[in-house]
Amino acid sequence: MKNTCKICGIFCNYDVCDDCDYKLKKVKQEQEELEEYESMNMFNLESSYNKITAGQTQIGGTHYKDKAIQPWDYILANDLGYLEGNIIKYLTRWKDKGGLQDLKKAQHYLQKLIEIAS
């Protein structure tokens, strides 16, 4: 007997099609992982003595944290878009992280920005 998926409306053999079922399971798994992470109390945001902001931490090095102005603060303050933001990001960190490869990445984003602006 054919049913209609309660989520997307396509015909299937069950109440929920395989694609929607997979997506639901993935979302549930992500929620469980988030709950587990939060239960580890690494960053208990409700605790007044342990309020750590994103600007005070950095995952994977110190190539932004050690700067006088973090790239994301500059990007947000100047209302820059995705391409401009990535150019700033790679130019800011190239000496401390990616070297020549970061300069090439900045150049690549700049090339796309020029193409769009032309």
Express each pLDDT in 27-68 by its tens digit.
888 888 887 776 665 555 555 455 777 777 767 777 777 778
Residue 70 has pLDDT above 60, yes or no: yes
Q: Which tokens in the block code for residue 115?
A: 């193409």
Dist. CA 109–CA 86, nearest whole Å: 7
Beta bridge pairs of residue 4? 11
Express each pLDDT in 99-110 by its tens digit.
999 999 999 999
Least confidently predicted of 7-16, 18-27, 52-61? 52-61
What is the per-residue pLDDT for 59?
74
3-state SS, one letter per residue, for 51-89: CCCHHHCCCCCCCCCCCCCCHHHHHHHCCCCHHHHHHHH
Residue 87 has pLDDT above 90, yes or no: yes
Dist. CA 77–CA 11, nearest whole Å: 49
Dist. CA 57–CA 51, nearest whole Å: 11
- Across 46-68, b (16+ Cβ under 10 Å) vs e yields eeeeeeeeeeeeeeeeebbeeee
